[in-house]
Chain A
């Protein structure tokens, strides 16, 4: 793939709460090429959404970006003024939020809300605005757009609201689109519609996409690259085929295993012992060691390095040379 669009280096975003400092994102390095789709996976509380909000510079109080750089088209987003960021958001970088019910304002019509994006960024003529909104809504598959755009959000179903949000996000043909769990609240059949829509749009627009989800199936359907996060850090990064067929990090292997396939009936669901650690006091050394079957003394003391085991396949584990899917004895059946 071609040029780098986004490059994140040693990003740290902490939340200063009364109970202590929550290290939600703790030293993340990531690169995204133009036109690439990256899936960001992991369980809830692993920092995926915080990472997205950091890129948008929308980290809510009491969170703060502590250090690091986020280079977008060669410029550091963390050095930009608020005004410059405002011009970027919704224009070159835009985001689809998780909950379509709360991301739309109930007292404005769909037209006002979608039109606002145009008003802020390229100020079209008034008559032109209506046409532009209708055109956009048609693109995301809303039937009878010129009539529907006068309606208010409550008259729309969940799937339709999600389409409106997608329309708002793609209004200015963003270079980078961040989708935070875009289908979590939707029914399966509606989710399938949204997946197809996003696939179509990706082809048409050529933007880079970061898809945040805990559903590995969704990542596999939509993404070229995958980064799996655990407790504020990226533990494995590679292209989708490699990670599904030859995962190396013990966490990723167990995560894939706890995702039951549909071909064979399994006797037991495979389990990762324990639960996700608190990010206020994460375990020393490798953050996964208390739950890892391969943990040794080294893992308890030293943070593992991130090693490129193959070209474009990065694993952060002390034992990446000996652990692979076969040695764990699972992951053999095609999902």
Chain B
């Protein structure tokens, strides 16, 4: 199990902000700013954080939809960011992605079966019948029955669209599946169906997932290990159980205490943070969380905290770990 499939080292992505008459770069959005993590083969790795913390950017970098500013990502011994164009084609067979919005990630002019057989077409070693046969198998597996194969995306519900998106991602039998909030736009009852499907496929196809979400409930039940991201920087990483049962970083604590509880009599010790997430254009100095942190001391605003392993495999970046 402890076989590293993907190793991300010091990943950074700054987006330029252009302005003025000559559209010179007048600033940088520090979207992802020094993220390192390892994903082991066969695990479901969760990345959680609020909007704008860089979760989606990380995924987009990993399949080279955008180019990184700095850093490396070693996937099966090769650095993704050094790959040439023809190698990228191979990479995208091994790493597939399920997108957030099933409404806009399917081509409205293609039928369900065409969408799922397109990856085979790109590979180009199958004839039409073979392609359709394989695609039909996949669609059936994700729960789309054959009478729907020739329908267009607009004829499907949100949950069904997401199933088609999943079938397409599985087409090339990838090693790593990147899931970008695949259920956030679905209703509760349908959401559970899709999540169960993802769980089943994980076993059946021997997959490894990186699952990105802001929904802490889903992460809790789906992921083996979780990375908590704040303003482009990881603040805590560890086994999901440890993160939820004994969060250490004040941000993680606030995040978990903020989930509304279903039991009206449950004890609610909610930590209310001040203000909102600051802009990643000029992120705060030192620890990025210090302006909102109830425990901040002077060192927090001047020095960036390093990761410390407090329990086996549970890392936290905070200056005040020992003082509390």
A195 to chain B, nearest CB (A): 7
Inter-subunit contact A255/B261 (CB<8 Å): no
Q: Is the CB of B50 closer than 8 A to any CB of chain A?
A: yes
A283 to chain B, nearest CB (A): 16
| Contact partner, A195, options B195, B240, B260, Cβ 8 Å | B260
The contact string, 1 if C-beta is below 8 Å from chain B, for chain A 262-273, is 100110111110
Q: Is the CB of A191 closer than 8 A to any CB of chain B?
A: yes
Inter-subunit contact A244/B263 (CB<8 Å): yes
Q: Is the CB of B187 closer than 8 A to any CB of chain A?
A: yes
Interface residues of A in 43-58 (CB under 8 A from B): 43-44
Q: Is the CB of B21 closer than 8 A to any CB of chain A?
A: no
Given A196-B270, A268-B199, A270-B192, answer yes or no on A241-B50 (Cβ-Cβ < 8 Å).
no
The contact string, 1 if C-beta is below 8 Å from chain A, for chain B 150-176, is 000000010100000000000000000
Complex: how many Å from CA A196 to CA B270?
Answer: 9
The contact string, 1 if C-beta is below 8 Å from chain A, for chain B 193-235, is 1011001000000000000001011101100000000000000
Taking CB as reference atom, which chain A residue is nearest B251?
A189
Q: Is the CB of A218 closer than 8 A to any CB of chain B?
A: yes
B145 to chain A, nearest CB (A): 13
Inter-subunit contact B192/A262 (CB<8 Å): no
Complex: how many Å from CA A266 to CA B196?
Answer: 11
- Most chain B CB within a 10 A radius of its CB, from A44, A187, A196, A266: A187
Q: Is the CB of B190 closer than 8 A to any CB of chain A?
A: yes
Given A160-B276, A217-B260, A335-B261, answer yes or no on A188-B221 (Cβ-Cβ < 8 Å).
no
Inter-subunit contact A262/B260 (CB<8 Å): no
Complex: how many Å from CA A305 to CA B131?
Answer: 52
Residues from chain B with Cβ under 8 Å of A272 in the complex? 189, 192
Complex: how many Å from CA A118 to CA B266?
Answer: 40
Complex: how many Å from CA A221 to CA B188?
Answer: 18
Inter-subunit contact B189/A188 (CB<8 Å): no
The contact string, 1 if C-beta is below 8 Å from chain B, for chain A 189-221, is 111110110000000000000000011111011
Given A260-B221, A265-B220, A335-B263, answer yes or no on A192-B241 (Cβ-Cβ < 8 Å).
no
Q: Is the CB of B74 closer than 8 A to any CB of chain A?
A: no
Residues from chain B with Cβ under 8 Å of A254 in the complex? 189
Complex: how many Å from CA A188 to CA B271?
Answer: 11
Given A220-B261, A241-B264, A259-B188, answer yes or no on A159-B276 (Cβ-Cβ < 8 Å).
yes
A48 to chain B, nearest CB (A): 12
Inter-subunit contact B187/A335 (CB<8 Å): no
Taking CB as reference atom, which chain B residue is nearest A273?
B193
Given A214-B188, A258-B192, answer yes or no on A193-B273 (Cβ-Cβ < 8 Å).
yes
Q: Is the CB of B51 closer than 8 A to any CB of chain A?
A: yes
B215 to chain A, nearest CB (A): 9
Q: Is the CB of B255 closer than 8 A to any CB of chain A?
A: yes
B214 to chain A, nearest CB (A): 7
Inter-subunit contact A217/B196 (CB<8 Å): no
Inter-subunit contact A275/B189 (CB<8 Å): yes
Q: Is the CB of A334 closer than 8 A to any CB of chain B?
A: yes
| Contact partner, A188, options B195, B220, B259, Cβ 8 Å | B259
Inter-subunit contact A265/B270 (CB<8 Å): no
Taking CB as reference atom, which chain B residue is nearest A222?
B260
Given A44-B187, A262-B220, A271-B189, answer yes or no on A157-B260 (Cβ-Cβ < 8 Å).
no
Residues from chain B with Cβ under 8 Å of A196 in the complex? 270, 272
Inter-subunit contact B191/A258 (CB<8 Å): yes
Inter-subunit contact A43/B187 (CB<8 Å): yes
Given A187-B50, A189-B50, answer yes or no on A265-B260 (Cβ-Cβ < 8 Å).
no
- Most chain B CB within a 10 A radius of its CB, from A158, A159, A275: A275
| Contact partner, B192, options A158, A187, A271, A334, Cβ 8 Å | A271
Q: Is the CB of A240 closer than 8 A to any CB of chain B?
A: yes
The contact string, 1 if C-beta is below 8 Å from chain B, for chain A 281-302, is 0000000000000000000000
Interface residues of A in 117-175 (CB under 8 A from B): 157-160
B155 to chain A, nearest CB (A): 13
Q: Is the CB of B258 closer than 8 A to any CB of chain A?
A: yes
| Contact partner, B188, options A190, A258, A265, Cβ 8 Å | A258
Q: Is the CB of A276 closer than 8 A to any CB of chain B?
A: yes
Q: Is the CB of A317 closer than 8 A to any CB of chain B?
A: no
Q: Is the CB of B127 closer than 8 A to any CB of chain A?
A: no
Inter-subunit contact B196/A221 (CB<8 Å): no
Q: Is the CB of B122 closer than 8 A to any CB of chain A?
A: no
Inter-subunit contact A244/B262 (CB<8 Å): yes
Inter-subunit contact A189/B255 (CB<8 Å): yes
Inter-subunit contact A265/B258 (CB<8 Å): no
Inter-subunit contact B259/A217 (CB<8 Å): yes
A interface with B by C-beta (< 8 Å): 43-44, 157-160, 187-193, 195-196, 214-218, 220-221, 240-241, 244, 254-256, 258-262, 265-266, 268-272, 275-276, 334-335
Interface pairs A-B: 5 shortest CB-CB:
A217-B260, A335-B262, A269-B192, A192-B258, A272-B189
- Given A220-B264, A271-B196, output 7 extra A-B contacts at Cβ < 8 Å: A187-B50, A188-B255, A215-B260, A217-B259, A260-B221, A268-B199, A275-B159
* 26 contacting pairs across A/B (C-beta < 8 A): A157-B276, A187-B50, A188-B214, A188-B255, A189-B50, A189-B273, A189-B276, A191-B260, A192-B254, A192-B257, A193-B272, A214-B187, A217-B259, A217-B260, A220-B263, A220-B264, A221-B268, A241-B265, A255-B189, A256-B262, A260-B221, A262-B220, A265-B221, A265-B240, A275-B159, A275-B189
